Structure 1
Amino acid sequence: MRTADQPIRISLIAREGRMGKAIATAVEDNPAFAIDQDHGDVLLDFSAPDALEGSLDRAIAANVPILIGTTGLDEAAGQRIAKASEQAAVLRAANTSLGITLLAELVARAAEVLGPEWDIEIAETHHRMKADAPSGTALLLGHAAARGRGVDLALEAGREGTGLARQTGAIGFASLRGGTVAGDHDVKFLGPNEQLILSHHAENRMIFARGALAGARFLVGKPAGLYSMHDVIRALEAKA
C-alpha cells in the first residue's frame, strides 16, 4: 500500500515507444514519480489499438487505474473502455496536453457563440510516422466544436475531386504528415468577412508526458469510472 510521502509508481505499456520514453524522461526529472513496471500504482498505455484489451485486463486484475493515451481506436474499443471503467478508474485521453484540453474548451465556447453561420475547419500536422488520420486530437477538437453547437459530429475529411460543395454545418478536417512535427492543430472559424483561428503547437513530446503524469496523479485513489483530461483540469483548478 502506497503512503502519501512515497512517489507514485508508474507502469508503462510500450515503454520503448516514443511516448513511453518521453514519460520515463519526465519521471527522471520529477521525484514525485517512479517507474515500476511490475507494481505500478497507475498504468499508462500509449501503445497501439491491438494492445488495448490486454492493458485493460491488466488494470482490472491488478485493481489499479489506467490512462489510455492510444489513438486510432474504433467504436468497439470505446465500448471496451466503457465496460472496463465499471471495474477500474480509466482516463481516456486523445491528447494529454493541458494546453490542448483548454483549447478544446475554447473551441466549444466559440462554436456555441458563433453558430452555424461560421464554417469550421480543423488542420493538423504530425510527423511522417503517424499512422492514423485525422489525428485523435483533431477529432477531439471536432467533437468539442460539435458539442458547442449541440449536434453530433458531421465531418468532411480528405476532400478530393471537383464539384465538392461544402455541406452546411459540416466540420472539415485536413491532415498533413512530414518531418518530426510533434503535433500542430489549428481550428479555423470562417465567417462572413472575418476569421477566428484557435491554435496549439507542440514543440516536443514532453508536454504530453508531463500531462500524462498530471493524469496519473489525478487517477490515484479514484473510484471506478470513465474520466477525461477535463476532469484533470478541474482538479487542478480546485487546488489553485
Structure 2
Amino acid sequence: MINVILHGANGRMGKVLQEIIADQENMTVAAGIDRETFAADFPTFQSLDECDVSADVVIDFSHYTAVPAVLDYCVGKQLPVVIATTGLNEDTKAYLAEASKKTAVFFSFNMSLGINLLAKAIREITPLLEDNFNIEIVEKHHNQKKDSPSGTALLLADAVNDAVQEKKTYIYGRHDNDLANPLSELGIHAVRGGTIPGEHTVIYAGPDEVIELNHLALSRNVFASGAVKAAKYISTKTIGLYNMEQLIDEK
C-alpha cells in the first residue's frame, strides 16, 4: 500500500485527487494538508510542520509560493515528492534540482499523459517542418488561472526548441503594426475565460497548408490521474529529478 500525504488537499485539484486515490487498490491518503480546516476520513493538518503521519510519498497541488517549504519537508523526511503545482519561478525550479540530490523529486509543467505524448510527437514532427513552416502555440484556460502563458505552453514550446536546428525566439502575443513574423519566432498566445480546464494547440503554418496538433482537457481528472501515476512511479525512488517523459519511456 502506498501512503500519500496530499498537500493542498482541500483545493480544487486536491478534492479530485482524493476521489481518484480512493478508487486505487494500492494507494491511500495518509494525511491531508491545507491552510483551511476541512473534514476528511484521514488526519488533516494546516501545515506540513504539524504533520506527524508517516507516508511513502507527497503529492503537492497547492500554490507556487508553498513549494520551497514542501521540498524542505520532503528533504528532511527523505520522502519522494510529486510537485504538480504550476507557475514556479526560476529560483524554485533551481531548488527542485537541488532537492533532488537528497530525495526523489517528480516535476512536470503538466501531469497529463496526453500532453506529454504530444510533446514527444512535436519533437518528431518539428524537424521535418522547420525550414518552411511558422510555428505558433495557442493556450486556453479558465478565468481563475493566474499565470500566463501556461507552463504547458512553455513545455510545448521547449519541445519545439529541443527539435530545431536554429533555436526559436518566443514571442508572447503580437501587438505591433509592422511585424515580419520570421520563421525564427515562435508565437505563444493565451486565452482566459469561463471554466476551460485547458486547451493547447500547436499550429504549423506552411505554404498552402496548415497542420494543427490539439490537446483538450475535458476535466481536471486528467491532471490528477497523471499525478497519481507519478506518485506510484516515484514512490520507490530514493534520489533524482524525474518527469513525465521518463515515466512514459519506462512503460
Give the TM-score, by structure 2 length. 0.88
Q: Is the 8 A contact 2:103 2:240 kept in 1?
A: yes
CA distance in 2, matches of 1:152, 1:14: 37
Paired residue for 2:65?
50
In structure 2, distance between residues paired with 1:117 and 1:77: 37
Give the aligned partner of residue 221 of structure 1: 236
Whether 2:119 is the aligned partner of 1:125: answer no
**Which residue number in structure 2 is paired with residue 146 of structure 1?**
161
Matched-pair contact (CA < 8 Å) for 1:42–1:220: yes
* Matching of residue 71 in structure 1 with residue 65 in structure 2: no
| 2:4 corresponds to 1:10 | yes
2:24 matches 1:36: no
| Cα contact 2:135–2:183 (8 A) shared by 1 | no
Report which stretch shifted further, 205-214 or 158-167.
158-167
Separation in structure 1 between the aligned mates of residue 174 and residue 98 of structure 2, nearest angstrom: 35
Partner of 2:209: 194
Deviates more, 1:110-119 or 1:144-153: 144-153
The separation in 2 between residues aligned to 1:116 and 1:96, in whole angstroms, is 31
Call closer, same or farther: CA 1:205–1:117 in 2, change over 3 Å.
same
Q: Deviations over 1:116-167 (max 9, x none)?
A: 4211111111011000011011110000011011454521112223112224
Once superposed, which parts of structure 1, at least 4 consecutive aligned residues long, lie more than 3 Å away? 150-153
Q: For residue 64 of structure 1, report the CA deviation from its aligned partner.
A: 1.0
Instruction: From the superposition, tell whether residues 173 and 58 of structure 1 become closer, same or farther in structure 2 (CA, over 3 Å).
Output: same
Counterparts of residues 77-226 of structure 1 (less than 5 Å): 77-152=92-167, 154-226=169-241
1:227 Cα deviation after fit: 0.7
**Tell me, what secondary structure is at the counterpart of 2:250?**
helix
SS of 1:124 mapped into structure 2: strand
On the 8 A contact 2:132/2:206 being kept in 1, the answer is yes
Q: Is the 8 A contact 1:218 1:235 kept in 2?
A: no
In structure 2, relative to structure 1, the CA distance for the partners of 1:231 and 1:120 (3 Å cut) is: same
Partner SS for 1:83: helix
CA contact (8 A) 1:116 1:149 kept: no
Q: Which segment drifts farther, 113-122 or 140-149?
A: 113-122
Q: What residue identity is the alignment partner of 1:23?
A: L
Alpha-carbon separation, structure 2, partners of 1:166 and 1:74: 29
Q: Identical aligned pairs, as a percentage? A: 37
Scaled by the length of structure 1, the TM-score of the pair is 0.92
Query: Are 2:134 and 2:182, in contact at CA under 8 Å, matched by a contact in 1?
Result: no
**Corresponding residue for residue 20 of structure 1:** 14
| Stretch moving more, 145-154 or 127-136 | 145-154
- Residue by residue over 1:53-84, the C-alpha shift from the partner in whole angstroms, topping out at 9 and shown as x without a partner, is 10001111111111111111121111111100
Are the aligned partners of 2:8 and 2:60 in contact in 1 as well (CA < 8 Å)? yes
CA–CA separation in structure 2 for the residues paired with 1:34 and 1:151: 47
Unaligned 5+ segments in structure 2 are 32-52
Equivalent residues of 2:167, 2:184 under 8 A apart: no
The 2-side partners of 1:72 and 1:64 are apart by 23
Q: Please list the CA deviations of residues 182-211 of structure 1 after superposition, one character each: whole Å capped at 9, or x if unmatched.
A: 101100111111111111100001111111
Task: Tell me, yes or no, if the aligned pair for 2:123 and 2:160 is still in contact at 8 Å.
Answer: yes
Distance 1:214 1:166, change over 3 A: same
* Separation of aligned partners in 2, 1:228 and 1:141: 14
Q: Report the count of equivalent residues.
A: 230
